[in-house]
Amino acid sequence: MTPDNLILKISKGQMEPFYFLHGPETFYQTEVIQALIQKCITEDNRYFNLETFDARESTVNHWLGSARTLSFLGGIKLVVVRNLHEAIPKDQDAQTLIDYAQSPIPEACVVITADKVDRKRKLFKTLTGLKTAVACEAPKENELASWLRKRAGETGYSLSPDAARFLVNRMGARPGILAKELEKTLLYAGKNESVSEKDVSEVVGESKLENVFALTDALKTKNPEKALRLLNNQIDHGEEPIKILGTIAWQLRMIWQVKHYQQKNLPSGQIAKAMGANPYIVEKALQHTRRFSTQQLRSGYLELVNADRSLKSTTKDPMAVMQTLILNLCC
């Protein structure tokens, strides 16, 4: 079940007494929880029927005790527990949660979120195997344009295919950011229910490619302060360290490939055709090929490999790993 499918079911009143929302796209977690609140909670019953917990500051007994304490006003008791991945119950507490998840009381709706799961653990293996478990992951980039058009249509607007693709190209595969930018674009369009690429370009900020090249520029010019500021900006906008690392690696590979063909004296158009790449991306890469020697690109790529290994196989703080990478690349 996808988050969009679940939200549609909730809007029709088709709710289950237990949900496990897992995955890195917290935007979807928030959307589902808001849909449940809108359906179950009113101003009159909010105090009695809605309770939220942070798993890092509470226990399984707190959550389930709340669910079992029914509201005297009637209706569904909504209990929201966030950040299970940061405070994983152990032993008896884990089993207690498993038992409840498999046989929840119908008078309550318990929603638990986790940004990541370790399926080797019995708890997560059980929770992710439930029919009411929902993977909160970003759609593939080639599906996001359709997702945006559908989202615009639900509010009475028609977003052109070109406008949707332009928005994705500008902001990248980040549903939360895309949703905010779409909302801004629709407000800008006003009564004009047909939204064009021009409307998007008037509203949406600089492109993800420009951000990536800006970071590359800062690395090349040995400007660690600017590079760290750009890194922090991307993370503040919801980008994950592992994705930023992948984007930097993609950028260096692109520059390396373009440099290879440039040394054969091919013009940009033929380089793009030979690589099967977007001409715009090739043009941007060409602006950087003279700034990097082949040895610098090779050394930089080795630094990226080491950072990738640290992010995936150690308990080091991801932000610290990325900051160390930036400083090493600026040396």
For 198-220, what is each residue's pLDDT tens digit? 888 877 765 555 566 677 778 77
Q: Is pLDDT of 183 > 70?
A: yes
What pLDDT is stored for residue 59 in this prediction?
Answer: 95
The CATH number assigned to the domain with range 3-135 reads: 3.40.50.300
Task: For Cα atoms 130, 131, 137, give the angle at the middle one, nearest 5 degrees.
Answer: 85
Q: In the chain, where does the domain assigned CATH 1.20.272.10 lie? A: 208-329
Q: In the chain, where does the domain assigned CATH 1.10.8.60 lie? A: 141-203
For 131-163, what is each residue's pLDDT tens digit? 999 999 877 777 888 989 998 998 889 999 988
What is the rounded distance in angstroms from the CA atom of residue 274 to the CA atom of residue 259? Answer: 13
What pLDDT is stored for residue 210 in this prediction?
Answer: 54
pLDDT band at 190 (very low <50, low <70, confident <90, very high): confident
Fold topology of 208-329: Zinc Finger, Delta Prime; domain 3 (1.20.272)
Q: Which helix (H) or strand (E) holds 111?
A: strand 108-114
pLDDT band at 55 (very low <50, low <70, confident <90, very high): very high
How many other CB atoms are there within 10 angstroms of residue 129's CB atom? 12
What pLDDT is stored for residue 205 in this prediction?
Answer: 60
Fold topology of 141-203: Helicase, Ruva Protein; domain 3 (1.10.8)
Task: For Cα atoms 94, 82, 130, give the angle at the middle one, nearest 5 degrees.
Answer: 55
pLDDT band at 293 (very low <50, low <70, confident <90, very high): confident
What pLDDT is stored for residue 204 in this prediction?
Answer: 76
Q: Is pLDDT of 109 > 90?
A: yes
What pLDDT is stored for residue 67 in this prediction?
Answer: 94
Closest among 125, 112, 95, 86 to 21, alpha carbons compared:
112
pTM for the complete prediction?
A: 0.60
When the pLDDT of each residue in the chain is averaged and rounded to a whole number, the result is 87
Q: In the chain, where does the domain assigned CATH 3.40.50.300 lie? A: 3-135
pLDDT band at 246 (very low <50, low <70, confident <90, very high): confident
Average pLDDT estimate for 215-233? 81
Higher pLDDT, 202 or 19: 19
